[in-house]
């Protein structure tokens, strides 16, 4: 095919897309680029090739990407195709399927949710739409509470403001968990079949129902029920411009935790996220306002949810100032708490990139410990699960209620722990030392390498495979586990795990939701008291950090 013919095909695809786009903003944006490309503007043609050169992959829990026109962006055409494909998939599984649809406050979230509702209803799927923007855990809860076949949550979680996404859960035998293979592949194929025809040909119906407050009330009541508050705890809270505050406030009140001090600038939903560079509590600076508020009011701790409230971050006062606890620190404290109240057949689970500390907790309490691939779609499916977490601030503390990470219920459990410690004259900082003295001192680190071209990630992974390091820093590599073709009980995945001679560990993998290569560093020590153990482990992680940066040239 000649370059001219290729351009003609590109322009024809762009014109066809514009003709069916119901969104005036993306349609105008697309038509402007088509006009410029027709006039010979190479930048406009390059933009069109970006928008139409590929299609957003339907994979990790569904879709996620930047807003804009074309199949490689999140927009009303793409979402309508996804809804029709998902409806076809559900109808192929059962004669009278049902779905509940939720949405957060990101740009176009409600529009995408309503488009999904009319397409689902038009296809013959019994459809319920949540009444307003709400946290992702409320939608995940609704899937099981309403006993529906599937759930859709329109959210991009903690991604940048320009992004949105489409997260899918399945009911029935999947019990409200996120989709996994082969369902994700089958849905993707159904979407591809639908995408060959204009979306104007799809049947639509407004014959769907809007959920009443009883669903939200049930979530609030069941979440509050896990609380134990023997002593009052003063805490500051931020919703990080997301949808968490309304629901979290109701849960805190019902749980007897009272009213927190709130970061007013971040309490109400705002899809532009004006006070943070990235609306992710893990990002440097994202929690500055809530940490400052906690210090100013003399709080015992601070609590942050990400914009869709499925993640939790915690900050505590220390002798050297306030600091955010790592996802692993919160995970192993909640895991220890869960182990103490677990039955003899309890199961603690975490992703393979999370700290090995949870395994030590499980062993000490004679519980089963399970490692999964990254993502709560795997953690939530562990049989007999008592508690699960991933280091990226995701925690599942009440699996009988919801089978996904839940930043609100995790906050209640952590605040209950803080209350119990306070009643006993202790603090979370002291409890971390107690953990180290009981199970060993653990430390973790992470390196995120953001790329502009996804091919860069492939090149770095290939280099590590073809020329594996003998050392990372001064530490010898004792063993390398390559998950590419499957490893042990794990399905295939683009993951490399390096075991160091001193028991430390380095894991390298591409991010599933962002253009990043992620590196996870873990070390532990059992020498000396709790503080000495933590310091020794942190020293090893620091050396691993420098070593892997030198190895990857970053």
User: Any idea which residues carry the catalytic annotation?
Assistant: 157
The residues, any chain, with a CB within 8 Å of residue 6's CB and separated by 6 or more, are none
What is the Cα–Cα distance from 17 to 73, expressed in whole angstroms?
12
Alpha-carbon torsion (379, 391, 370, 309), positive or negative: negative
What is the Cα–Cα distance from 142 to 128, expressed in whole angstroms?
10
What is the Cα–Cα distance from 114 to 137, expressed in whole angstroms?
19
What is the Cα–Cα distance from 87 to 205, expressed in whole angstroms?
13
322 beta partners: 317
Whether cis (ω within 30° of 0) applies to the bond prior to 316 is no
Q: Is 43 exposed, middle or buried (0-12, 13-18, 19+ CB in 10 A)?
A: exposed
Using alpha carbons only, give the angle 108, 110, 111 rounded to the nearest 5 degrees. 60
Report the residue count for the chain. Answer: 554
456-461: long-range contacts, CB 8 A cutoff, minimum separation 24? 456/517, 457/510, 457/515, 457/516, 457/517, 460/517, 460/552, 461/494, 461/496, 461/508, 461/510, 461/517
What is the Cα–Cα distance from 442 to 484, expressed in whole angstroms?
28
């Amino acid at each position: 095919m000649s370059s001219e013919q290729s351009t003609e095909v590109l322009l024809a695809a762009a014109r066809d897309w514009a003709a069916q786009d119901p969104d005036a903003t993306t349609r105008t944006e697309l038509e402007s680029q088509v006009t410029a490309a027709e006039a010979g503007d190479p930048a406009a043609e390059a933009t069109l090739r970006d928008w139409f050169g590929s299609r957003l992959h339907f994979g990790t829990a569904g879709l996620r990407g930047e807003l804009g026109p074309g199949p490689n962006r999140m927009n009303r055409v793409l979402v309508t195709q996804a809804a029709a494909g998902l409806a076809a998939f559900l109808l192929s599984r059962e004669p009278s399927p049902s779905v509940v649809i939720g949405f957060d406050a990101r740009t176009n979230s409600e529009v995408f949710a309503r488009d999904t509702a009319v397409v689902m209803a038009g296809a013959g799927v019994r459809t319920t739409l949540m009444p307003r923007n709400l946290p992702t855990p409320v939608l995940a809860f609704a899937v099981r509470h309403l006993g529906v076949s599937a759930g859709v949550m329109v959210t991009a979680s903690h991604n940048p403001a320009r992004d949105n996404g489409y997260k899918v859960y399945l009911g029935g035998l999947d019990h409200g968990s996120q989709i996994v293979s082969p369902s994700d592949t089958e849905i993707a194929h159904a979407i591809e079949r639908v995408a060959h025809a204009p979306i104007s040909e799809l049947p639509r119906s407004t014959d769907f129902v809007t959920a009443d407050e009883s669903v939200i009330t049930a979530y609030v009541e069941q979440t509050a029920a896990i609380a134990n508050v023997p002593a009052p705890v003063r805490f500051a809270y931020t919703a990080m411009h997301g949808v968490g505050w309304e629901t979290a406030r109701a849960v805190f009140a019902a749980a007897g935790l009272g009213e927190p001090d709130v970061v007013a600038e971040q309490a109400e939903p705002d899809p532009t996220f004006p006070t943070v560079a990235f609306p992710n509590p893990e990002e440097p600076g994202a929690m500055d306002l809530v940490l400052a508020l906690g210090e100013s009011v003399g709080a015992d701790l601070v609590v942050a949810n990400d914009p869709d409230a499925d993640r939790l971050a915690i900050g505590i006062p220390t002798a050297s100032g306030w600091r955010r606890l790592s996802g692993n620190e919160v995970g192993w404290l909640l895991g220890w708490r869960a182990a103490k109240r677990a039955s003899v057949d309890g199961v603690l689970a975490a992703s393979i990139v999370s700290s090995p500390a949870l395994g030590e907790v499980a062993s000490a309490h004679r519980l089963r410990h399970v490692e999964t691939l990254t993502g709560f779609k795997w953690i939530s499916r562990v049989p007999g699960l008592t508690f699960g977490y991933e280091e990226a601030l995701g925690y599942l503390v009440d699996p009988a209620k919801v089978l996904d990470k839940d930043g609100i219920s995790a906050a209640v459990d952590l605040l209950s722990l803080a209350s119990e410690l306070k009643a006993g004259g202790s603090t979370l900082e002291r409890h971390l030392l107690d953990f180290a003295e009981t199970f060993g001192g653990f430390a973790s680190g992470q390196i995120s390498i953001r790329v502009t071209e996804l091919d860069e990630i492939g090149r770095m992974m290939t280099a590590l495979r073809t020329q594996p390091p003998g050392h990372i820093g001064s530490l010898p590599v004792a063993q390398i586990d390559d998950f590419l073709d499957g490893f042990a009980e794990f399905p295939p995945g683009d993951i490399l795990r390096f075991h160091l001679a001193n028991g430390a560990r380095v894991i390298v993998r591409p991010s599933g939701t962002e253009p990043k290569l992620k590196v996870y560093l873990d070390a532990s020590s059992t020498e000396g008291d709790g503080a000495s153990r933590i310091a020794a482990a942190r020293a090893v992680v620091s050396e691993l950090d420098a070593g892997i940066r030198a190895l990857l040239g970053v």
